[in-house]
Structure 1
Amino acid sequence: MAGSGALASPAPNGRRERWAFALYAAPLATLFGLALSNFTLAVATLALPWSARGRRAWLARGQPVLAAAALYCLFLVAAVAASAEPGRSLREVGELFSLGMLPLALLALRGEREVRRLVDILAVAGTAFALHGLAQYLFGYGDLDRRIRGPFSHWMTFSGVLLVIDLLLVAQAVLPSGGPEERGRFWRTVRHPASRATALVLVNLALAGSLTRSAWVAVLVAVLTLVVGRAPRLLSMLLPAALVVLLLAPVPWVARALSIGSLRDASNYDRLCMLTAGARMVSEKPLLGIGPGLVRERYPIYRDATAPRIWVPHLHNSYMQIAAERGLLSLTALVALLGTGFLEAWRGLRRAEREGRGPADLHLGVAAALVAFAVAGLFEHNWGDTEVQRVVLAVLALPFCLREIG
């Protein structure tokens, strides 16, 4: 039965399976250029359903998460229809294109071997992004006015993508597992302990250097979750470790960390004003919101008189942004989508521990990555960032791709 347990690693893939994997991995490997990622995703959207003929049972593995995604899409369309400006809101339907990453994963990936390979691709991409960002220090970047952003257009995109990849790498360090034997030199090199350690160090250095406080808080909460769930004895070591990090960190990093909870920080107060304005929007149209894409232009109507900015691009909180634009129905669907993926990963982790076999590290990585993403969403509209959303949708699908096909 589908979902009864982790799938034993299949035999080496045939040409058709290799093409399906490559088609799906391409939009993630090319996130450094959104136009290129869009093109490869369009090719995958057209080609994967054709190349995956006869794989209807593969889709059935993901019924719970697909149901949540379908509700999210339905409420998006309903919010557009109910919008005060349907013409403007209609542009937001383009999000459905990226949401295709979820069902396409179920068509392209089968079992532990291919899931591990996709995580390896993300690790390589994350390492390259991190190196790009760290290299920007050589060109005068690194302070608040010129924050490192790697190959992306904004530092929030940079940190958002690295955040998800980071927790996948952390889980592999906590529960090291080689997985099925690989013959290819590339896969063996990527999975070498030295390669994984290097990737983990570079990604975390880049995350720290991005000066993105939401990502720092998210990493801390996710790591605490890992420690409490996996090794509670290590809790006593976290405070000394944090003190060592603070002592060794550059002064701008420490100052940035100490400003996280300060209302004297202008950006913190600005975010509180955004939450207040968002709450007013929700109270006006609670079910379907004021309309997708309308927060930016209508913010001046709802803002406090003391708010630092007259207009904002978004509300810097994924949950408030969705509730304000699309209503509480869409917010419920989004929480259900993330929660379904987390619960499936958690069940997979417990099953692997109980049976003493299976990809426990993959399930742990998905659970930790989703926790980190959810926490970061309290401080930034990361769900609205296309590159970040695509990585998260791929990660959401992974525990379902590990289910048995039957």
Structure 2
Amino acid sequence: MKKISWNHYFTFFLLLFAAATSFSIALTQIALTLAVILWIGLCLKEKKKPFPRTPLDWFFVVWLAMEIISTLFSPNRYLSLEHFVKRALLIPIVYLIAGSVQSRKQLRWLLLSLLGVMTIVAVIGIVKYHLGPGGLEGRLKLFNHYMTSGGLLMINGLLALAFVFSRAPRHVRSIALAAAVLMFFPLIYTYTRSSWLGYLAGFTFIILFTRWKFIFALIPAVLLAFWAAPSSLQERLTSVVDPWHPNNIERTYMWQAGVRMVEHSPLYGYGDSEVGKRSEPYKSPQAKERAGHLHNNLIMFAVILGIPGLLAILGLFIRILAIEWITLRSLAADDWLLSGTALGALAAFIGFQINGMFEWNFGDAEVAMLMWLTVGLSLAAGRIRSAAG
């Protein structure tokens, strides 16, 4: 019987981490912690650096420095510190994936764990939804809040779609298509508009990059799907472009309040401490909705960190987009595994950013964790290609 090594334990927890992102934040965090500890131990044993240097390092450093400064000046330092630490502890995901996924075989297993389990969860979601009340009152929740479910399905769905439009073997594309379709329906059932928009943005990018002529088929396909959709779904879809819809008006009030808060504390913000509650005095008297955040990533970062911190996080986002684009362009289309991974990661990051224009998805640990995982996947794909020469 072959002896189980520490490397096997590490691989198990890494794959468990990827698989659990679809259904359990507790199991995800446990698996991630054990994977990081084991990886550091293995690297120390072999006398090599556990985490590679990346083009993102100094951007992370500047962002974290801005977080520390805003926490020091926060009206509630302890709460701000708690939220800051939660965000900071997700960053090692990027380095863990980039450093430990060193071969195509490892990459395949990681993608299979990630997308395979998400597909199973999606099927459970479809059954759960159709057994329930349905309609807007029955917004689908998988194993978490429906907005979280929407974000997870959006990112995983875009990763799967990238392989549908890659030059992978036919059986791989068929499996990816089945997974993408099975994720698409529960994404719709969440009735989460921001995730729909993020998915559409990422899907559009995939088509433009791989088969741009398909864009002319996408538009009528969307219109046909809208025509065939039930009335509750049509109403939800049309609300996206209705500036007078009550939900959109409330979002506008939140964003206006956020801008006023930044004007009041532009240098170091308020820290991440009860932003929703602190925004109330800055809201319009007509505002009715009370929320814990302001439903926009950039406005939230501006309120939390101030304008210098906002510029730091914008610099990080732009750098990630640039690196992922450079990685994608450097990979041959025939190398379908690496190019498909890079394409899916970039589409997912685009989707995450569009989603974040209407949602504080950085405050959603499950979604943010998955986003950082995709950034690590892109870096890993580039490193595997470089190692192969």
TM, length-normalised to structure 1: 0.86
Partner AA of 1:30 in structure 2: A
Does residue 234 of structure 1 match 2:186? no
Deviations 1:202-241 (A, max 9, x none): 1011111111111111122222222223322222212221
Post-superposition shift, 1:354? 8.0
Partner of 1:140: 132
User: Measured at CA, do residues 358 and 39 of structure 1 come closer, stay the same or move farther in structure 2, by a change above 3 Å?
Assistant: closer
Deviations 1:339-397 (A, max 9, x none): 33332222222222389787211111111111111111001111110000111111011
Whether the 8 Å contact between 2:165 and 2:207 is mirrored in structure 1 is no
Post-superposition shift, 1:160? 0.4
Post-superposition shift, 1:16? 5.0
Post-superposition shift, 1:97? 2.2
Report SS of the residue matched to 1:63: coil
Does residue 277 of structure 1 match 2:278? no
Which of these residues, 8, 23, 26, is aligned with residue 13 of structure 2?
A: 23
Partner AA of 1:267 in structure 2: N
User: Measured at CA, do residues 386 and 58 of structure 1 come closer, stay the same or move farther in structure 2, by a change above 3 Å?
Assistant: same
Which of these residues, 346, 352, 360, is aligned with residue 373 of structure 1?
A: 352
Post-superposition shift, 1:114? 1.9
Post-superposition shift, 1:303? 1.1
Which of these residues, 6, 27, 39, is aligned with residue 36 of structure 1?
A: 27
Which moved further from structure 2: 62-71 or 208-217? 62-71
Whether the 8 Å contact between 1:294 and 1:325 is mirrored in structure 2 is no
Partner AA of 1:210 in structure 2: T
Deviations 1:229-280 (A, max 9, x none): 3322222212221222122222211121111111332111110001000101
- The percentage of aligned residue pairs carrying the same residue is 24
CA distance in 1, matches of 2:164, 2:96: 28
Partner of 1:256: 236
Runs of 5+ consecutive residues of structure 1 not aligned to the other structure: 1-13, 180-190
User: Measured at CA, do residues 122 and 358 of structure 1 come closer, stay the same or move farther in structure 2, by a change above 3 Å?
Assistant: closer
Map 1:260-339 onto structure 2 (within 5 A).
260-309=240-289, 311-339=290-318
User: Measured at CA, do residues 106 and 225 of structure 1 come closer, stay the same or move farther in structure 2, by a change above 3 Å?
Assistant: closer
Partner of 1:123: 115
User: Measured at CA, do residues 358 and 193 of structure 1 come closer, stay the same or move farther in structure 2, by a change above 3 Å?
Assistant: closer
Post-superposition shift, 1:67? 2.6
Which 4+ residue blocks in structure 1 deviate beyond 6 angstroms? Answer: 354-358
Report SS of the residue matched to 1:46: helix
Which moved further from structure 2: 346-355 or 235-244? 346-355
Structure of greater relative contact order (alpha carbons < 8 Å, 6+ residues apart): 1
Post-superposition shift, 1:72? 2.1
> RMSD of the TM alignment (CA)?
2.4
Whether the 8 Å contact between 1:127 and 1:199 is mirrored in structure 2 is yes
Which moved further from structure 2: 244-253 or 155-164? 244-253
Whether the 8 Å contact between 2:43 and 2:50 is mirrored in structure 1 is no
Whether the 8 Å contact between 1:23 and 1:48 is mirrored in structure 2 is no
TM, length-normalised to structure 2: 0.90
Does residue 398 of structure 1 match 2:377? yes
Deviations 1:18-39 (A, max 9, x none): 4333322323322312222222
Which of these residues, 20, 43, 62, is aligned with residue 52 of structure 1?
A: 43
Partner of 1:108: 100
Runs of 5+ consecutive residues of structure 2 not aligned to the other structure: none
